Chains A and B, each alone.
Chain A
Amino acid sequence: MTGIKAGGDEPHLLTGATGFLGSHIMAGLLAEGKRVVIAGRSSSREPLKERIRRLLHWFGMECREGLLEFHEIDFLKPRMGLGRAEYDRLRGRGCPVIHCASDTRFTEKNRAMVMKSNVESLATILDFATASGARWFHFISSAYAAGIDRFACPEAPVHSLRFNNVYEESKALAEDRVAGKCREGKIPYTIIRPAIVYGDSSTGKSLRFNALYFPVRSLQHIRDIYLDEIKNRNGMKAAECGIFINDEGVLHLPIRIFIPHEGKINLVPVNYFTKTILAILEKPENETFYHITSNRPENMTRLASYAERFLEITGIEVVIGAAGADAMKNPPEELFDYFIKAYRPYISDKRDFFRENTDRATGGVLPPDFGYEIFQKCMAFAVAADWGKRLFD
């Protein structure tokens, strides 16, 4: 590995700044007084600048807007959709690039779009980086790009041929393209691989409520359906499923969560993710992979107990092994199983992620253990934000 100077005062060019991780990287850089060139897209409802302003408000960083510069880009168009002059001007600055934009959908039906966004469109940003002689190219990938061929995952290129889903596969392919093109163009690069990122461990704040949040939200809604039925109607449907309010006034909601094996859930808080990224950007090492992961991953049994406590319910049982054909006996159980289907690979994951490079970059600072206190803080924020619907109220 070759140490190359991180860069002077030139701003970073950041893609994906309107997303969960990208926005936190932006906020982290701004907090350090660094300038950021935002390369992003307007949504159908809101121009790019407004989207970013809304995020700055959420971070309480409106005063730092002056450190931002905006460029409306489209990776699927030549010159990233920029006019010749604007493209040339931007290219001439040689900014280090942080490429965070990504399509995080898992489903096979979205394969074409995911591959297009995460792999094919890379050519445009990599061409730009090459043409501009970018000082660095930092690619935000995923720990799960490791695939499922082996459980021991080093901070090294992926050799797996099998993946849980198209998202993992696209990230693995993208890493390979980034490495190849950067080497060819003599651009120093890093590949940064976070595990499952949740909200801020100290405040509970988050901008996204999938992954860790989705099963809890599912349970909350199922709980509310039966609570309402018991309280406002005759509770017959609840009784049919063995659901009742116990002597302590707590809802007993018998749901078995079937997972193939007792695996792990690798969680890191977004504030840790941001700090780690900033540390890596400070002293990046060329051609280096960084796992932003936890050495003490959670397991489903513990998370289920947290969820019971938070939602004030009992009856959640984690069952190791596949459900038999007739195992799904009650409606809430079946629905919950259906809800978490897409997340199943990540709630009983067998993979271990090594993180020597990250430890070196951070001086060995590890993510906090994910105890109930953090869980409660994050979920309370999520509920208050109505799982994202009232996020910017």
Chain B
Amino acid sequence: MDDVLKTAKSCRHYAMCKIDFLGTGLCRAGEEKHFVSFYPQGRMDLYAALAENRIPITEKCVEIAESCDLCGKCDYQCYFVTEMKPTAVMKALKEHIRLHLENGGDVLAAEKDSILDGIKEIVGDDWATNDRAIALTYSHDPCPAAEPRLPDYIAMPGSSAEISAVIQLLNRHGIPYAVRGNGSSVMGFVMSEGAVIDLGRMKAIVFDEKNWLVKVGPGVAAFDLQKAAVKRGFRVNAAEPSALVCANIMCSGIFSTFSASYGTAADNYIDAEFVGHDGSVFRLSDPSAPNLFGFRRTDSALPGICSSASIRLHPVPADEGAAFVPFASLERALDFARECAGRRIGLAIGVLGGEYVSVFLSPTKKLAAEVKDAFRDKLKMEYLVLVIGDKYALHSIKAMGYPYFDNRMIRILNLGLPALTSAKWLDLMDELADDKPFSYLGLAHFPDLAEAALAPSSAQLVGDVDPELRPFFEKLYARPEMTDPVWLNMFRIVSARMGREKHVVAMIIYLPIDHTLIAGIGREFKRIADSHGLKNDFGFITPLDDGKRCVFEYDYYLDQNDPREKIKMRQAMMETGMMIEKFSAATGTVTWIRHVFCQGFSRKESFLYSGAGTGP
């Protein structure tokens, strides 16, 4: 496999090229045409399929290739997340088509289809297709458990009424369908051999500040909503930046480190509109609407298509800051996180492992690996607890006796990461005989010294970035928000980096913040992944409901192009599921996210305490 094809086949489908998270602007064609096929992500899939002779060249194929103006924005976006440069693939795609046309190759015209005509009548000619080049880009994702399914139709409705009409039409013809947001669930949920309904056109964001809510269409991505909210002085509880808000509530209820105070699932919205499977439209606040607040501890189907949601707006304190509190053990980190949640200190709380911290902060894989070692071996920081809060919250942490990295130190540390890995003076910290671990962080002048020692600068941080892209990234990291932990946690643009080295499969459970239980399950996660030779690591833990429960993510990683790893991952996922069910049955307090899928509109209490009344 040549490098270009390898890049094309390695697209993680995180849809980060569909949001303007770096301020470069979006791919012009994608913004105009909306089908994923016109974004770099779709073109990567398309080129891979053409290079492997999996599809013929169609009319749309030619249009997609020609629509790319090789602006290079996707290189910045994709490199930021995965260190890949898709422009080489875009060029190869254009070249492939050019040669084909020059050699007089056939171009397959779209087939006549009465059902497609019916869909087009509803959504308009431009927003429905059965072209295989488009369909292909909706046919698969990197989930190891999902087999590719090429849909017959792709429809992009523009309103609830159009969604309803499309569903009724599909129902009449007995055509199955899947609903797709940005397709970034990467769990194989958004594929169908019948039709895929892509909601990407419905991007309405309407604020109702008087009622502290914002009504969003199903095509609004978390990043775009947060951006709009922040512009007006608010914040929303947002999922991964490219995840569509409505889809994400439906899928897993939206959880983030801010869930420590904002909650999850039903806590995130005030009302929502649905198009039922029969095409009827209902609102959750309607007393006669189906009850989506409950929870069934089984795999569930979608209750319908969420066509809009009124999302809670939260105030943003003007004196907000972040604290990264280091710990040498998970037990201590959990104690602290639980204490903060129980005392309602901080708005966002997250226990992060070394993998997350190093990967999130580092622009390249190489640096991330070195930083991870430095944190663990030199600084003895196995875990960092992130707390975001106002000045009173941060004062409280200090008063509790925990030294921490504040905003300034985080910026110094982030921009000085390359120097951190080679800093000899850090060895002294390790050998220092001190009763209070990490107490040097409490020294009044430590940031000044760290500044002198680490020489923080965006130029230093991007030292091993691809030389072609380095000037852009140097400017990017000089922007204050790129090293502001509060901004980064609100917009979460670095979280997709956890899939930089390999595609990530997140194992997520809800359970009490009980160290013995968490450590026990963590060991099992590790044992299972290790037994299959899969890379794995602790992800994060965020307290929920005043620290009575938490959400715990443990990550498995696989090379999505390695069939053996896919088999191993499937086996590991099966064993992990059995393990979680075992803990769940034994404790009555552990809930697997698999059961929350499609029930994300429920009350969090319904699944956090789903074992209530069944125990002794």
Nearest chain-B residue to A108 (Cβ)? B435
**Residues 420-479 (chain B) with a chain A CB within 8 angstroms:** 424-425, 427-428, 431-437, 439-440, 443-446, 448-449, 451-453, 455
Nearest chain-A residue to B448 (Cβ)? A331
CB distance from B66 to the nearest CB of A (A): 49
Interface string of A229-247 (1 = CB under 8 A from B): 1001100011011000000
CB distance from A73 to the nearest CB of B (A): 27
Q: Is the CB of B448 within 8 A of A224?
A: no
Q: Is the CB of A105 within 8 A of B425?
A: no
Q: In the bound complex, what is the Cα–Cα distance between A335 and B452 (angstroms)?
A: 13
Q: In the bound complex, what is the Cα–Cα distance between A389 and B430 (angstroms)?
A: 13
User: Known contacts A218-B428, A237-B452: does B434 contact A331 (CB below 8 Å)?
Assistant: no
Q: Is the CB of B425 within 8 A of A222?
A: yes
B435 CB contacts on chain A under 8 angstroms: 107-109
Q: Is the CB of B434 within 8 A of A335?
A: no
Q: Is the CB of B455 within 8 A of A105?
A: no
A238 CB contacts on chain B under 8 angstroms: 452
A389 CB contacts on chain B under 8 angstroms: 427
A331-B446, A334-B444 known; 15 new pairs, CB 8 Å cut-off, are A107-B434, A109-B435, A210-B431, A224-B424, A224-B425, A229-B453, A232-B455, A241-B448, A334-B446, A334-B449, A335-B445, A335-B449, A338-B432, A338-B440, A339-B432
Choose from A106, A221, A226, A341 the contact partner of B428 (Cβ within 8 Å): A221
Q: Is the CB of A335 within 8 A of B446?
A: yes
Q: Is the CB of A106 within 8 A of B425?
A: no
Nearest chain-A residue to B443 (Cβ)? A334
A295 interface residue (CB < 8 Å to B): no
A380 CB contacts on chain B under 8 angstroms: none
User: Known contacts A338-B440, A341-B434: does B428 contact A225 (CB below 8 Å)?
Assistant: no
CB distance from A331 to the nearest CB of B (A): 4
21 contacts between A and B (CB under 8 A): A107-B433, A107-B434, A107-B435, A109-B435, A214-B431, A217-B428, A218-B428, A224-B425, A226-B452, A228-B455, A237-B448, A237-B452, A330-B445, A331-B449, A334-B444, A334-B449, A335-B440, A335-B446, A338-B440, A342-B433, A387-B427
Q: Is the CB of A240 within 8 A of B433?
A: no
Interface residues of A (CB under 8 A from B): 105-109, 210, 214, 217-218, 221-222, 224-226, 228-229, 232-233, 237-238, 240-241, 328, 330-332, 334-335, 338-339, 341-342, 387, 389
Q: In the bound complex, what is the Cα–Cα distance between A98 and B233 (angstroms)?
A: 72
Q: In the bound complex, what is the Cα–Cα distance between A210 and B443 (angstroms)?
A: 22
Q: Is the CB of B452 within 8 A of A221?
A: no
Interface size on B, residues (CB 8 A): 23
Nearest chain-A residue to B452 (Cβ)? A237
Q: Is the CB of A105 within 8 A of B433?
A: yes
A109 CB contacts on chain B under 8 angstroms: 435-437
Chain A contact surface mostly: helix
Task: Kindly name the residue among B425, B427, B444 whose own CB sees the greatest number of chain A CB atoms within 10 A.
Answer: B425
B434 CB contacts on chain A under 8 angstroms: 107, 341-342
| The 5 nearest A-B residue pairs measured at CB | A331-B445, A237-B452, A221-B425, A331-B449, A342-B433
Interface residues of B (CB under 8 A from A): 424-425, 427-428, 431-437, 439-440, 443-446, 448-449, 451-453, 455
Choose from A226, A335, A342 the contact partner of B443 (Cβ within 8 Å): A335
Task: Kindly name the residue among B431, B443, B452, B455 whose own CB sees the greatest number of chain A CB atoms within 10 A.
Answer: B452
Choose from A225, A233, A237 the contact partner of B425 (Cβ within 8 Å): A225
B445 CB contacts on chain A under 8 angstroms: 328, 330-331, 334-335
Nearest chain-B residue to A225 (Cβ)? B453
User: Known contacts A331-B445, A335-B443, A338-B440: does B431 contact A237 (CB below 8 Å)?
Assistant: no
A210 CB contacts on chain B under 8 angstroms: 431
CB distance from A171 to the nearest CB of B (A): 16
Q: Is the CB of A332 within 8 A of B428?
A: no
B449 CB contacts on chain A under 8 angstroms: 225, 331-332, 334-335
CB distance from B340 to the nearest CB of A (A): 22
Task: Kindly name the residue among A107, A218, A237, A331 whose own CB sees the greatest number of chain B CB atoms within 10 A.
Answer: A331
Q: Is the CB of B451 within 8 A of A237?
A: yes
Nearest chain-A residue to B454 (Cβ)? A225
Q: In the bound complex, what is the Cα–Cα distance between A224 and B427 (angstroms)?
A: 14
Q: Is the CB of A342 within 8 A of B432?
A: yes
Choose from B427, B437, B452 the contact partner of A225 (Cβ within 8 Å): B452
Q: In the bound complex, what is the Cα–Cα distance between A134 and B300 (angstroms)?
A: 75
Nearest chain-B residue to A330 (Cβ)? B445
A224 CB contacts on chain B under 8 angstroms: 424-425
Choose from B428, B432, B448, B453 the contact partner of A240 (Cβ within 8 Å): B448
Q: Is the CB of B444 within 8 A of A328?
A: yes
CB distance from B380 to the nearest CB of A (A): 13
Q: In the bound complex, what is the Cα–Cα distance between A106 and B424 (angstroms)?
A: 23
